Structure formats: C-alpha cells, structure tokens
Amino acid sequence: MPFQYLPVMAQNSAPKPPRVLVSPTKPAWCPIKKPLSESRVALLSSAALRLAHQEPFIPREDFNYRRVPSDPSAGELIIDHHSGIGRVPKQDPEIVFPRTALANLHKRGDVGSLAPFHFSFMGGLRDHGKIENELAPAIANDLKQAQVDLALLVPY
C-alpha cells in the first residue's frame, strides 16, 4: 500500500485544520496524440526552482513563475521552496526536476525535442482561484508559444 501523506500532514499541522485539496473547476483531459519520440516536452515544477541569477521566489505566496533553460549546462539550480522536505532535493535538484535525464532521453531519441524553457512556480499556494485564473493560464500560454506537446508536472 502506498505511503499515506494526508494523515501525516494533518497530524503534523494540528491544531491547525488539515490542508484543503482542491481539484480544478475545469478538469483537463486529452489523449496523448503523438509518440514521445515526436513530441516536444517541457518540465513543470512546484519546487520554486530558478537559476542563481534569477530573482528569488518569496515564500509563501509568490504567484510568479520562472523560465528555467532546458539546457542542463545553463547553470546551477536553486530551490526556494520553504518545505523542510527540501533538505534532500536541495542537495541535488535533479531528483525533483530531471532536466539532465530529459536532455539525455532527447539525445538518445526517446524524446522528440525539448522546449527551450522549463517552468517552475511555488507549490502549496493557498489562493486556488489565483492559481487557476492567473498562474496556470500564464504558464499555459508560454507552453503554447513554445509549441509544447507534453508538459510534465513534478509536484514538490
């Protein structure tokens, strides 16, 4: 049986009420139309990731996002997310943001192409309406501009 996160989170946050999980009001579904080997792929991360020279995220309610170059040689990644779980991934952000692994899959032909940029934002934001009406559409617009076929979200 998979690890149950919600009871542990509720226990740890007591006496505050448990976190409310919200599904999108407009659930999205589309079949995968192209083989991966012909698809342009981008990563999405809620780890509040950025390059060192990019403006830091401001915990906890930062609704901006960063474009992170998909080329792994573009620079060191920094995680700004405030979660204590970050002690391990901050040692090596690639374990939550597999930029190098994806680039290698592209080199060996498994992935058609890489978007020029991946995207990162702050996970755990509480204003769900602002996520759905502002943050997500802005990222979706960038994905469309980049002609991305497949956006892979890795929650933090």
Partner 1 sequence: MIGTAHDIMSQVTPPHALFVDHPVGRTFGPPHDRARNQAVLARALEELPKFTRSGEIRDPGLQWLSDGSRIWEDELRAEMRQDH
Burial category of 24 from C-beta neighbours within 10 Å (exposed 0-12, middle 13-18, buried 19 and up):
exposed
What six digits make up the tokens of 105? 């899959």
Interface mask (CB under 8 A) for partner 1, residues 9-48, using x and -? Answer: x--xx-------xxx---xxxxxx--xx------------
DSSP 8-state class, residue 97? S
In the three-class reduction of DSSP (H, G, I as helix; E, B as strand; rest coil), residue 95 is classed as: helix
Residue 92 near partner 1 by CB under 8 A: yes
Alpha helices, H only, the chain: 5-13, 99-107, 128-130, 136-145
Q: How far is the CB of 65 from partner 1 (least distance, A)?
A: 17
Nearer to partner 1, 36 or 138 (CB): 36
**By the rule CB under 8 A, 91 interacts with partner 1:** yes
Q: Least separation, in Å, of the C-beta of 31 and partner 1?
A: 7
User: Residue 145, interface with partner 1 (CB under 8 A)?
Assistant: no
Spatial distance between the Cα atoms of 132 and 24, rounded to a whole number of angstroms: 7
Kindly write out the interface string for residues 96-135 of this chain, putting x where it contacts partner 1 by CB under 8 A and - elsewhere: x-x-xxx-xx----xx------------------------
C-alpha separations of 150 from 42, 58, 99 in Å: 6, 28, 15
Q: Which residues bind partner 1 (CB under 8 A)?
A: 2-6, 8-9, 12-13, 21-23, 27-32, 35-36, 83-89, 91-92, 94-96, 98, 100-102, 104-105, 110-111, 150, 152-156
